Amino acid sequence: MTVTSELEPTIDLFRFRNTTFDSGTYIFVSEQERDTIIDNPDLNQIFELEGEQEDGSINPAFTASANPGEGLSPLYRFQSNITPGNYLFVGEQERQNIDTNFAEEFNEEGLAFYVYQAGSDRGAEFTRFQNQNRPGTYLFAGEAESANIRANFPNFLEEGVAFEAL
């Protein structure tokens, strides 16, 4: 695999965990939305930022593109109407299916970012897992975290590689 970052502008995406639930409810956000969540007491009591380092820096979960480009696919963000504070990121085909068949369960929030398609061998793979203890909740994880989930969390159903980050 060759990880590439020749696309501009790229955006760092940060992961928050929804602390209202035991596990498996996360959201990926841009730096601007990250800062909004951190600064808002109504949100920072619910969402816990991951990736904070001892020196105060924050490691992003992954990098994506803000614009379309060769080999990139859009991902759209949906919020669950059944489990508020739970988010799902999907490609165009799944987006159409959700809008047609599951509009009562999910509210589309729009285009989130662009990533490489699964199987393109151009970036870091992110696998999608569904939390069987909380149907309709999903987790996207990089290689190391995916291995840990497979080994230690049988309640997460692996759905395959969802995308490749820049």
Residue 7's pLDDT band (boundaries 50, 70, 90)? low
Q: Which of the pair, 3 or 63, is modelled with greater confidence?
A: 63
Please give the share of the chain, as a percent, with pLDDT higher than 90. 78
CA distance 29 to 113: 10
Other beta carbons less than 10 A from residue 81's beta carbon? 14
Residue type, 134: R
Contact 25, 18 (CB under 8 A): yes
The whole-number average pLDDT for the span 91-119 is 96
Q: Tokens in use for 22? A: 């035991």
| pLDDT at 111 exceeding the cut of 50 | yes
Q: Please tell me the predicted confidence (pLDDT) of residue 80.
A: 92
